[in-house]
């Protein structure tokens, strides 16, 4: 959630910043008004309640002194209804405010370039030269079929479309990649965690998936739980509603989880192959930092993900997202796009974001700074998306006969 006091005191700046994310000034004006209404309603209710409390306390005094309380009771009763309605008004004001506030995206960081969509993202640099092929490189689904690595049909049979089954060497490589990623992250100081793949609504609200993006989630109706769309949800919310000692910062976590996404808005996109599935494996990094240290940790996370790709020998480029392409919670995002020779293009394989204090404010993740509690910064990033790495290896390590080499660093895992 954005800082409502900031919105109140620096309205024009706020409008300007959120323009990059397509939020109208009318919406923000409405939010500002709701915030003012809440404060007014609270003030009215609280002063009425204060009077009531004082009168109630008198009963104790009167009784001890043996005085009659009948007159006092009449006085209190007279205001009862009024106070109840003031309380109701304050509650309604709060509900109205949060209904809007929770659906407002985060402010983009100053360093985020202007732009409407992914076409205006800025390539920062490339790592590794794509190899040249003396034959026509195939796309991963063709290679998958030739090698019997991915069983798309039976995945659909077991569940529905956009589910698939990895078989044999592919299944082993999936497992090898997970281990390789976790080990690498651990060597950079990230604690490895194994977390629930179902989280409750409060957690999904904490990281920003709810209330706005419920349609993108798989929900277990009977239990009121959601399949996580990314390990960012459980890892970040591990510290929801907690106050972390300053010396424990930064908290660096990594974990492997499957991720589940309805892909509600992407009908027709990437229907072929394993690029976009309802279920995929991912190893995630999450950091909770002191606000002054988040930039530094962000750079480290980008470097780490890039280093993993480099270690695998996968050519990639580092891209700074423009304002229009930023996600809901993100203040700043860098994508790593891996080269897919079969598709002859770069495709996203990792996305590293800082949310500033946006998620921390929602999830109440704070730390002790001296005597004061302060909102932390939260960051997250893939290192890496496992299925897409598998695809990248297939396409980059293919031979003319359709066979696939195993990257050197993975050999000890297979």
Under the binding rule (CB under 7 A), the answer on residue 85 touching RNA is no
Under the binding rule (CB under 7 A), the answer on residue 80 touching RNA is yes
State the Cα–Cα distance between residues 75 and 353, nearest whole angstrom: 58
Q: What DSSP state is assigned to residue 291?
A: G
Long-range CB contact pairs, 296-303, < 8 A, 24+: 297/250, 297/252, 297/379, 298/332, 298/334, 298/352, 298/354, 298/379, 300/188, 301/352, 301/379, 301/381, 301/383, 302/334, 302/336, 302/352, 302/381
Specify whether the CB–CB gap between 157 and 165 falls below 8 A: no
Nearer to RNA, 52 or 279 (CB): 52
Under the binding rule (CB under 7 A), the answer on residue 59 touching RNA is yes
Q: Which residues are catalytic?
A: 261, 276, 348, 351, 388
State the Cα–Cα distance between residues 228 and 216, nearest whole angstrom: 10
Which of 46, 114, 270, 296 lies at the binding interface for RNA (CB under 7 A)?
A: 46
Closest separation between CB of residue 234 and RNA, Å? 16
Nearer to RNA, 54 or 132 (CB): 54
Under the binding rule (CB under 7 A), the answer on residue 373 touching RNA is yes
**Alpha-carbon torsion (42, 34, 29, 241), positive or negative:** positive
Under the binding rule (CB under 7 A), the answer on residue 269 touching RNA is no
Q: Please report the DSSP string for 310-360 in residue order.
A: HHTT--EEEEEPPGGG--SS-SEEEEEEEEETTTTEEEEEEEEEE-TTHHH
Under the binding rule (CB under 7 A), the answer on residue 60 touching RNA is yes
State the Cα–Cα distance between residues 279 and 106, nearest whole angstrom: 27
State the Cα–Cα distance between residues 117 and 97, nearest whole angstrom: 29
Say how many CA atoms lie within 13 Å of 329 toward its Cβ: 31
Total number of residues binding RNA (CB under 7 A)? Answer: 27
Q: Which residues are 255's β-sheet partners?
A: 193, 284
Closest separation between CB of residue 76 and RNA, Å? 4
Under the binding rule (CB under 7 A), the answer on residue 55 touching RNA is yes
Site string for RNA, 236-255 (x = CB under 7 A): -------x------------
Nearer to RNA, 26 or 77 (CB): 77
State the Cα–Cα distance between residues 91 and 86, nearest whole angstrom: 9
Which of 19, 36, 44, 76 lies at the binding interface for RNA (CB under 7 A)?
A: 76
Under the binding rule (CB under 7 A), the answer on residue 366 touching RNA is yes
Query: Considering only 73-81, 139-147, 266-274, 296-304, which stretch makes contact with RNA by CB under 7 A?
Result: 73-81
Which of 12, 26, 53, 412 lies at the binding interface for RNA (CB under 7 A)?
A: 53
Nearer to RNA, 42 or 343 (CB): 42
Closest separation between CB of residue 47 and RNA, Å? 6
Footprint of RNA (CB under 7 A): 5, 39, 42-43, 45-47, 49-50, 52-57, 59-61, 63, 69, 73, 76-77, 80, 243, 366, 373
């Amino acid at each position: 959630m954005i800082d409502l006091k900031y919105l109140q005191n620096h309205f024009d700046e706020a409008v300007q910043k959120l323009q990059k994310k397509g939020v109208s000034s009318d919406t923000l004006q409405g939010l500002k008004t709701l915030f003012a209404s809440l404060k007014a309603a609270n003030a009215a209710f609280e002063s009425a309640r204060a009077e009531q409390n004082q009168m109630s306390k008198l009963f104790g005094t009167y009784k001890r002194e043996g005085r009659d309380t009948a007159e006092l009771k009449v006085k209190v009763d007279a205001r009862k209804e009024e106070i109840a309605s003031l309380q109701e008004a304050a509650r309604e004001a709060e509900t109205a405010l949060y209904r809007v506030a929770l659906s407002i995206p985060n402010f983009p960081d100053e360093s985020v370039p202007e732009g409407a969509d992914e076409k205006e993202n800025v390539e920062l640099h490339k790592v590794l030269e794509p190899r040249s092929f003396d034959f026509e490189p195939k796309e991963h689904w063709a290679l998958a079929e030739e090698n019997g690595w991915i069983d798309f049909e039976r995945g659909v049979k077991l569940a529905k479309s956009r589910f698939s089954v990895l078989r044999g060497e592919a299944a082993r490589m999936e497992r090898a990649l997970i281990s390789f990623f976790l080990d690498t992250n651990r060597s950079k100081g990230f604690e490895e965690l194994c977390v629930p793949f179902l989280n409750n609504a409060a957690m999904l609200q904490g990281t920003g998936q709810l209330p706005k993006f419920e349609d993108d989630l798989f929900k277990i109706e009977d239990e009121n739980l959601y399949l996580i769309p990314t390990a960012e949800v459980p890892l970040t919310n591990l510290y929801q509603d907690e106050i972390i000692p300053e010396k424990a910062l930064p908290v660096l976590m990594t974990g492997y989880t499957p991720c589940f996404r309805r892909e509600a808005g992407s009908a027709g996109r990437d229907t072929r192959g394993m690029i976009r599935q309802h279920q995929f494996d991912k190893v995630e990094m999450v950091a909770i930092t002191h606000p002054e240290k988040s930039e530094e940790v962000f750079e480290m996370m980008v470097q780490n993900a890039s280093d993993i790709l480099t270690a695998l020998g996968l050519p990639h480029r580092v891209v700074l997202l423009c304002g229009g392409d930023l996600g809901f919670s993100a203040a700043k995002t860098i994508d790593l796009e891996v080269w897919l020779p079969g598709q002859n293009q770069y495709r996203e394989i990792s996305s590293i974001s800082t949310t500033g204090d946006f998620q921390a404010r929602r999830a109440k993740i704070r730390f002790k700074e001296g005597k004061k509690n302060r909102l932390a910064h939260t960051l997250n990033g893939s290192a890496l998306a496992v299925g897409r790495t598998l695809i990248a290896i297939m396409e980059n390590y293919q031979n003319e006969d359709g066979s696939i080499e195993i990257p050197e660093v993975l050999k000890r895992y297979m």
